């Protein structure tokens, strides 16, 4: 089976796993995951598994990328902040769904590799920054959507503060991988509302605000690249 056929098979698997947003599925189908993994893992590019990308980081399994993107509910005119560019795969998926993605990565070598991949795909609505993702990107705030691909101890206050009214933040929280949860934070005119989505297993978020939570978040169960 060639890579194109494997990509179609992956999309079918995502549908069966409960991913129903057709825009998300189309964005994933248009994004060649093999471009974002080392050559030795090309034969596994369309398996539902996380793969190493260097510097102790991984590219998340496709079903998690699809789920987080679907829960973010991205619209075509939105400005999105991504914490943890990594390989650039999630960045590419988001870029096909919104007006502009602002993506922060602390590993310069990873960021440069991701920038090259995104340029190759001719995605011109992405702005990148090498820096501390836990602090967000204040000069570009507010954001309608924020997605973090690394786990903080709690919801970092700077990220919550940079959400615009009606904005959504999706991220994993938890001190240890076995205790992590994927949560969605929505900001309204009266404050913040947090939903617990599912268990998660992510690398830790490292940065000045990674262990500083946002006080007063209400919780409820789930019912070319331009550099700056």
Active site residues: 60
Q: Note whether 45 and 34 are within 8 A (CB).
A: yes
**44 vs 39: CA distance, rounded Å:** 10
Distinct helix (H) and strand (E) counts, the chain: 6, 11
Tokens 């599912």 belong to residue: 198
Class of residue 204 by CB neighbours under 10 A (exposed 0-12, middle 13-18, buried 19+): middle
- Report the alpha-carbon distance of residue 228 to residue 42 in Å, rounded: 31
Residue 114 · residue 88 · CB < 8 Å = yes
Contact 185, 168 (CB under 8 A): yes
């Amino acid at each position: 089976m060639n890579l194109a056929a494997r990509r179609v098979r992956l999309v079918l698997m995502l549908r069966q796993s409960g991913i129903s947003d057709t825009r998300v599925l189309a964005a994933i189908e248009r994004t060649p995951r093999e471009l974002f993994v080392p050559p030795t893992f090309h034969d596994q590019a369309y398996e539902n598994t996380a793969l190493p990308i260097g510097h102790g980081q991984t590219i998340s399994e496709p079903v998690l990328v699809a789920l987080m993107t679907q829960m973010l509910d991205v619209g075509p005119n939105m400005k999105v902040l991504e914490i943890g560019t990594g390989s650039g795969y999630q960045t590419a998926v988001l870029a096909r769904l919104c007006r502009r993605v602002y993506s922060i990565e602390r590993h310069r070598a990873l960021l440069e590799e991701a920038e090259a991949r995104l340029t190759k795909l001719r995605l011109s609505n992405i702005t990148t920054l090498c820096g501390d993702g836990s602090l967000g990107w204040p000069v570009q705030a507010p954001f309608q959507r924020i997605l973090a691909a690394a786990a903080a101890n709690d919801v970092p206050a700077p990220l919550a503060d940079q959400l615009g009214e009606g904005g959504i933040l999706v991220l994993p929280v938890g001190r240890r991988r076995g205790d992590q949860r994927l949560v969605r934070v929505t900001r309204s005119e009266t404050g913040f509302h947090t939903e617990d989505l599912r268990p998660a297993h992510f690398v830790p978020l490292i940065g000045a605000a990674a262990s500083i939570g946002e006080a007063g978040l209400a919780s409820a169960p789930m019912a070319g690249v331009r550099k700056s």
